[in-house]
Structure 1
Amino acid sequence: MNYQYNNFYEILEKNAKNLKNKPAYFLNNRKISWERVKKKVDTFARALEIIGVKKGDLVPVLVGNSIEFIVAILAIQKLSAVAVPVNTFLKEEEITFILNDTEAEILIASSKFKNNLKNIRNNTNIKKIIWEGEVENIDENNISFSEILSNFESHEVKELPKRNDLAVIIYTSGTTGKPKGAMLTYKNFFSNIYGINELIKLTNKDRFIAYLPMFHSFTLTVNILLPMFYGSPVVIIRSIMPFSKIIKETLLKRVTIFTGVPDVYSALSRAKLPFYFHWFNKIRFFVSGAAPLAGEVLERFSKKFKRAKLLEGYGLSECSPVVAVNRAELQKPSSVGPAIPGVEVKIVNDELIEVPKGVAGEIIVKGDNVMKGYYKREDATQQTIINGWLLTGDIGKIDEDGYIYILDRKKDLIISKGVNIYPREIEEICLKFPGIKECAVIGKKENNDEIPVAFIELEDNAEFNEIEFKKYLKKHLANYKIPKAFYVIDELPKNATGKVLKRKLRENIEEYMK
């Protein structure tokens, strides 16, 4: 593909010049223009330069959804430094791991996370912290974000980053162990943006809403960078709760592109929304990503919201993150659609040989969206990227039309008596049983073999009848696929985007068995 831009700052400059006082972001009752955003970025970049940030430095950003998060990311990149968005749900030990892995000396953080940063200077290389929000004890090592914007003058840098330069390092969620930093270039992100551009014709008349955490690759690409490319305004919501605020802002701010994770669409498909929301909302597309969307949820949602399409996509942080998305003109249930333009997808066996259409195997991806590698993890990079193909660790199949079906995670695959069992297939069936809100199936070691067991989260006030449930499963599943044990728990462990952490279920299975 021929990419028009080298970096995101060039897009910001274009928008500030052509759209000037038109809104770039809405936050509560505030409108922030493109011109104003550029001034904030220029000012903050100057402050970072004076503080000591230089080309190639890694700068972690532990900030919630806000204008400040966006300004920080763009200002870091303007200096050809590398932004490292940090998961705001992490605890001190987890944050410390990332800060030590990056060897960063400067941290940008929200003051509301200060309890998780009490010992950070003792346990990391961090020397200076720029605080967003209310700050006490301001000094040369504890700097106020807002005072920077008030007291520093903007300036122009001599050289902006190039297309192949590192833009961001996204740390994976660590669902299978310690997180690894996926190194993403500007070219990686542009591959996603240009690919989506060919599928969904967006303009600066469209409006996005960003309530999912901005540190996540899905939100960063689809809710921040993609709208910036078009000059489309974004409605910023600081928190997903209360969800009624998201519904209200979607209506009042005339949002046309609504993105979410499966948990959100599951809740919306069941929620009793006011009748005027259905009449007056301007939504053209609902987009689902970050975790698999159950077919049951898609069916319920499509019946309830008939004027807009719900498009499920597939991706991973290592691919910036979009790999595939369903097409508005042809959606296939349980499919995540074909690969986006510019991206190749194959299904291979354990020897990395491509398998026939319709046969299950590991999904591998090739294209400009594939990361440069894992930061300081050459061994992991070589195991993950082979001859330019990224091994996703996901099991799937492709039909004759090129539509991709995700069957499971390779690490979640259960092999019982030599037979492959795909947990997602079982989970999809379980979710159709009345009263079951969420379900996760894992393999439990037993006598040198594995057996499937299910963890179940019930709807409010629902009761679980195991005998009736087993009768239901026997009608829909082969006997070897039926879980041998059922554990009803209050809430399944999840990461920030609603993906179930099966690793935690495996680690704590003995506790659940008591």
Structure 2
Amino acid sequence: MHYSELKKAWDELTAPGAPFELAVQEVRGAPMKVYKNAPPNVRAVWLSTAAFADRAYLVYENERITYGEAHVLVASIANWLLANGVKRGDRVAIAMRNFPEWMLIYWACLSVGVTVVGMNAWWTAEEMSYGFKDAQPKVAFVDPERIARIAEKPDMVEGVTLVAVRAPATAGYVAWSDVIATGGAMPEAEIDPDDDACIFYTSGTTGFPKGAQLTHRGCVANLFNMVFSGQAQALATQRGTGVVPDPNAPVPIPVALLTTPLFHVTANNCGAYATTAAGGTIVLMYKWDAGEALRVIEAEKVTSMSGVPTMAREVITHPDFATRDTSSLLSLGGGGAQLPPDLVHKIDSQVKTARPNTGYGMTETCGIITAIAADFFVDRPDSAGPAMPAFEARCVDDDGNTVPLGQVGELWVRGSPVIKGYINRPEATAETITDGWLHTGDIARMDEDGFIYIVDRKKDMVLRGGENIYCAEVEANLYRHPAVAECSVFGVPDERLGEEVGVALVLRPGHSATPDALREHCASIAAKHKVPRYIWILKDPLPRNASGKFLKRELRDTLKLADAG
């Protein structure tokens, strides 16, 4: 393999005068690796795409929007926000499915220094109410499903200006048509690199989601990390194999099928940013369906599809896979969860033109920490790849001391993509970030080439289809049922989604509850993916260790799926 060539390409691309030249700068009181040539903010990234005016930008079902049209709409939205009293540093919520308007509103906000609050579209009315109270947005753009949830708890949006997107503007709502009719050129704006670009919510170990503050600096650094990774690995592979592409061949314009929600960094910061910066086309779907994805790949000549690993597996195992034209695909992979090694090889062997790729990252790093693709991924399918140039990375023991190379420890990273913190949660911020070092909560090891291998999770969490579900949150919901005396939530292996939510519980004396009744209870206060699929109702108290903690591993290893309700 071409690991020595990768190191040479890495050093060349980050050297003084090179496109990805690095510098160390004090950021929020800690030394950080930054890209010297990075634009100062996301506004500059968006404005640079005006050069692609005639290209298709957003495709959704039968709708197509060019870059030129998008720039007119984005400027109009920005002017409407300013005319309605929204200022730099204020927050605007986007609560909707992956409609084209999502991206237009996002670029408009960030281009004038307004912070986007990406609200989880799976949230129930109760969870939405928490998000509105926590983030305090001045304006919220909402689709029909979110309008229905707001109607369940109207007090959640007290004082918020509501804009109805793809829905009639009934009483209390501004019409989307009024927003985009505002017109005007993109207004001027001053934006600091460390201003909040957006707030994305990540599930909390205390039972409430935490609003992570992604900065302009962090979002731009993540874009540079992604572009760098592609260039470094391609250059190393060319030199290692001697196969050099024809310099006169046209560079393919990327067409990306975004399959995961835009309120996550996987789709937004990784998929949308990289495609937009390259003047590519973003194809959006109403909801995930592997057969529909194959139809879209053929119709739109999609060059890359990235989602959670189960999506790639469902595409290549779908009955239509053999009859659909997937020859436009150059990369297929995923983020949000580790690709099983067998899937890496299946992608490489079954999709003739596409190479497997993945990135490991977090909301707290504005996107990827590592990336790996093509020959390197096929050679080391159990690795997440090396940490990107904007990061320092180390594995540490419980006392925060760096462990020797090859030994496991919690992965800590420091660099410009690390978030500022969590809004309204100074204690959680202090626990998660030490002197600029982000504690990922993942147990990992690093090899002599700097490749990182994620081996376990330190956090008490279920990873279901790329969604982090914190056990404490599900347990807190179950304890709100009057019949539950004690419960312990844990992950149950699942071939399609990686893990499903399982719970062992004991009922209070004199009370009764069926598994379905407990699921209905959970579904009334939390998103569907947080509702336990497997429920064991036990007669004896749950096993505990000497300090009184439930023995989750013992429960997971001894309970039989056949006995679950």
| TM-score interval, smaller chain | 0.7 to 0.9
Alpha-carbon distance in 2 for matches of 1:175, 1:325: 27
Deviation larger for 152-161 or 320-329? 152-161
Alpha-carbon distance in 2 for matches of 1:187, 1:314: 19
The 3-state SS of whatever aligns with 1:275 is: coil
Q: 1:229 to 1:439 in 2, by over 3 A?
A: closer
Q: Does 1:2 align with 2:76?
A: no
Match of 1:347 among 395, 415, 421: 395
Match of 2:561 among 469, 487, 495: 487
Match of 1:152 among 164, 182, 186: 182
Match of 1:65 among 89, 98, 107: 98
Tell me the equivalent position of 2:348.
302
Alpha-carbon distance in 2 for matches of 1:439, 1:8: 35
Deviation, structure 1 residue 340: 1.7
Q: Does 1:408 align with 2:456?
A: yes
Match of 2:229 among 199, 204, 207: 199
Tell me the equivalent position of 2:202.
172
Alpha-carbon distance in 2 for matches of 1:413, 1:44: 39
Unaligned runs of at least 5 residues, structure 2: 1-34, 235-250, 463-489, 505-541
Q: 1:136 to 1:31 in 2, by over 3 A?
A: closer
The 3-state SS of whatever aligns with 1:259 is: strand
Alpha-carbon distance in 2 for matches of 1:105, 1:342: 33
Deviation, structure 1 residue 27: 2.2
Deviation, structure 1 residue 81: 1.2
Alpha-carbon distance in 2 for matches of 1:185, 1:59: 15
Match of 1:12 among 46, 51, 64: 46
Alpha-carbon distance in 1 for matches of 2:497, 2:424: 40
Tell me the equivalent position of 2:368.
322
Alpha-carbon distance in 2 for matches of 1:136, 1:441: 38
Is 1:166–1:185's contact at 8 Å kept on the other side of the alignment?
yes
Tell me the equivalent position of 1:79.
112
Match of 2:213 among 177, 183, 198: 183
Alpha-carbon distance in 2 for matches of 1:81, 1:174: 25
One-letter amino acid matched to 1:158: E
Is 2:361–2:368's contact at 8 Å kept on the other side of the alignment?
yes
Identity of aligned residues (%): 24
Q: 1:234 to 1:123 in 2, by over 3 A?
A: closer
One-letter amino acid matched to 2:330: R
Q: 1:124 to 1:132 in 2, by over 3 A?
A: closer
Is 1:107–1:129's contact at 8 Å kept on the other side of the alignment?
yes
Is 2:114–2:197's contact at 8 Å kept on the other side of the alignment?
yes
Q: Does 1:334 align with 2:367?
A: no
Alpha-carbon distance in 2 for matches of 1:438, 1:368: 31
Deviation per residue, 1:475-508 (Å, 9 max, x gap): xxxxxxxx222225xxxxxxxxxxxxxxxxxxxx
Deviation larger for 68-77 or 82-91? 68-77
Deviation, structure 1 residue 300: 3.6
The 3-state SS of whatever aligns with 2:43 is: helix
Alpha-carbon distance in 2 for matches of 1:127, 1:437: 37
Tell me the equivalent position of 1:260.
307
Deviation, structure 1 residue 389: 0.6
Q: 1:111 to 1:2 in 2, by over 3 A?
A: same
Alpha-carbon distance in 1 for matches of 2:341, 2:204: 26
Alpha-carbon distance in 2 for matches of 1:120, 1:52: 25
Q: 1:24 to 1:271 in 2, by over 3 A?
A: same
Deviation, structure 1 residue 327: 3.7
Q: 1:5 to 1:322 in 2, by over 3 A?
A: same
Deviation, structure 1 residue 204: 6.6
Q: Does 1:273 align with 2:273?
A: no
How big is the alpha-carbon RMSD for the aligned residues of Structure 1 and Structure 2? 2.7
Tell me the number of residue pairs that the alignment of Structure 1 and Structure 2 aligns: 443
Q: 1:249 to 1:125 in 2, by over 3 A?
A: same
> Equivalent residues in 2 for 1:283-302 (5 A)?
283-302=329-348
Deviation, structure 1 residue 442: 8.0
Q: 1:3 to 1:358 in 2, by over 3 A?
A: same
Alpha-carbon distance in 1 for matches of 2:201, 2:94: 12
Tell me the equivalent position of 2:57.
24
The 3-state SS of whatever aligns with 1:68 is: helix
> Equivalent residues in 2 for 1:359-374 (5 A)?
359-374=407-422
Tell me the equivalent position of 1:472.
none
Deviation, structure 1 residue 453: 5.4
Q: Does 1:106 align with 2:133?
A: no
Alpha-carbon distance in 1 for matches of 2:308, 2:95: 22
One-letter amino acid matched to 1:64: R
Unaligned runs of at least 5 residues, structure 1: 415-422, 456-482, 489-511
Tell me the equivalent position of 1:38.
71
Match of 1:452 among 553, 557, 562: 553
> Equivalent residues in 2 for 1:429-508 (5 A)?
446-448=543-545, 450=551, 452=553, 483-488=557-562
Q: Does 1:381 align with 2:429?
A: yes
Alpha-carbon distance in 1 for matches of 2:138, 2:452: 43
Alpha-carbon distance in 1 for matches of 2:358, 2:503: 27
Deviation, structure 1 residue 136: 4.5
Tell me the equivalent position of 2:298.
251
The 3-state SS of whatever aligns with 1:411 is: coil
Alpha-carbon distance in 1 for matches of 2:205, 2:342: 25
Deviation, structure 1 residue 146: 2.5
The 3-state SS of whatever aligns with 1:219 is: helix
Higher relative contact order (CA 8 A, sep 6+): 2
Alpha-carbon distance in 1 for matches of 2:252, 2:327: 18
